[in-house]
Amino acid sequence: MLSQTTEYALRAIVWLANTAGDSQTTEQIAKATQVPTGYLSKVLQSLRRGGLVTAQRGKHGGFLLTKPSTEITVLEVVNTVDPLRRIHTCPLGLKSHGTVLCPLHKRLDDATRLVEKSFSGTTIGELLNTPSPSKPLCEIAAVCVA
């Protein structure tokens, strides 16, 4: 349902949230998130243009979140790199349907609306702080930074 770009963006944001305060290079993020460096570089630039991360140059340079993870929703990340597409008119261009969606496209749009609602109500901080035996991007939760 979500594109590979979206998956990679979410991994990067979660990693940056997990290492809050410590700037991370593209290489560090790529290794931790198992995302190809070249692809990640493009994703990080999209996140930077979208205002979710900032890039610092220099010896201690790298990427940082622009705001606390508790203020970044999953929907913000998704919509920054590959927005969810709602269906407002017949995707087939059938004039008789216009803005009155057929049952199939109505259900698809309803599902997208529910995903949108769920993602808008979920912050990255919440994902990291939810009690669970597994932690995002960590093989062994006990040794991962919080």
Residue type, 17: A
List, for residues 106-118, the tens digit of each pLDDT value: 999 999 999 999 9
What's this model's pTM, rounded to 2 decimal places? 0.87
What is the DSSP-derived secondary structure letter of residue 71? G
Is it the case that residue 140 has pLDDT exceeding 60?
A: no
Burial (CB < 10 A; 0-12, 13-18, 19+), residue 87, is: middle
| Mean pLDDT, residues 28-37 taken together | 93
* Residues whose CB falls within 8 Å of the CB of residue 66, separated by 6 or more in sequence, listed in order: 51, 52, 53, 54
Q: Which domains does the chain have, with CATH numbers?
A: 4-143 (1.10.10.10)
Among residues 76, 79, 78, which one has the least CA distance to residue 67? 76
Mean pLDDT in residue range 118-137: 88
